Chain A
Amino acid sequence: MLDSIVFYFFAGIAVLSAALMVTRRNAIHSAVFLITTLLSTAGIFLQLRAEFLFIGQIILYVGGIMVLFIFVIMLVRLDVPLPQIRSRARQWVACIVALVVFLEAAFIVWMSQKVPGQGLLVLRAAPAEKLPPNTEDLGKSLFGAYLLPFEIASILLLVAMIGAVVMGKKRTDAP
């Protein structure tokens, strides 16, 4: 009971502020609403007993990535008075695409209820003792079975850092 109250609270905030993020004219407002969405997603991670990801989401996304976004928004002139939507036609295309994908998902739900036995969407939670406070398990898994992807991710971050520096550098030799 408490679980579902917490879930609906965070899910409502997440969806509402995501919709506001997409529709606001001012980019800073969008960024603030995206931060709200990310924080409520962190709440859902906590409700799903992913404590490390809860903290990682707050520190990395909200503390790192969004600060970067806000820096760039402040560095760049944004022309807020100009129309922010690309065109009416594109808006219609977007709405139709969203509707089609949603109907597709609803169709899958409907189909899965016709499957005999336990369908996918009525999957029940594993018992709580199968996923105890699991930061230690996450670390063991990350540095055991997933050591190679971990190292590749570190190389990816290094490459991205070098790329960002090269992109952001002021070019002095160009005319």
Chain B
Amino acid sequence: MMPIGHYLFLSLALLLIGAVGVITRRNVIIVLMSIELILNAVNINLVAFSRYYGDVAGQVFALFIIADAAAEAAVGLGIIIAFFRNRETVLADEMDLLKW
């Protein structure tokens, strides 16, 4: 069994890739997918610590995070659909309705 640092670095790598996706992509759907990737990276951390401390609580938290991710995806995609119906675009640059 490996030391836990390997899992932490995998989680960190996925989180950073997700953050780069959130910052650079124009398409809001891909930004949402990057957020899913970040939540998934957090789950790896929780499950790894659950395994290494021999305590099941980390898996319970990971389960709650999966439920949160589902809720976030449903609401976010609903917002995207509503926005696309009004403005005919999903590009983040053109979402400037609230800008002065």
Q: Which residues of A pack against B, CB within 8 Å?
A: 3-4, 7, 11, 14-15, 18-19, 21-22, 27, 30-31, 34, 37-38, 41, 44-45, 48-50, 52-53, 56-57, 60-61, 64-65, 68-69, 72-73, 75-79, 82-86, 90-91, 93-95, 97-98, 101-102, 105, 109, 120-127, 130-131, 134, 137-138, 141-142, 145-146, 149, 153, 156-157, 159-161, 163-168, 170
Bound CA–CA A101/B62 (angstroms): 23
Q: State the interface size on chain B (CB cutoff 8 A).
A: 73
Residue pair B26, A142 in contact (C-beta under 8 Å) = no
Q: Which residue of B5, B30, B71 contacts A156 across the interface (Cβ within 8 Å)?
A: B71
Residue of A nearest to B74 (CB): A164
Residue pair A14, B33 in contact (C-beta under 8 Å) = no
Residue pair A15, B26 in contact (C-beta under 8 Å) = no
Residue of A nearest to B62 (CB): A53
Bound CA–CA A170/B81 (angstroms): 10
Q: Which residue of B30, B53, B80 contacts A30 across the interface (Cβ within 8 Å)?
A: B30
Bound CA–CA A75/B29 (angstroms): 12
Q: Which residues of B pack against A, CB within 8 Å?
A: 1-10, 12-21, 23-27, 29-30, 32-34, 36-37, 40, 43-44, 47-48, 50-54, 56-57, 59-60, 62-64, 66-75, 77-82, 84-85, 88-93
Residue pair B81, A60 in contact (C-beta under 8 Å) = no
Shortest beta-carbon distance from B78 to chain A in Å: 3
Which residues of chain A are within 8 angstroms of B36 by Cβ–Cβ distance?
A: 34, 61, 65
Residue pair A30, B77 in contact (C-beta under 8 Å) = no
Shortest beta-carbon distance from A28 to chain B in Å: 10
Residue pair B16, A102 in contact (C-beta under 8 Å) = yes
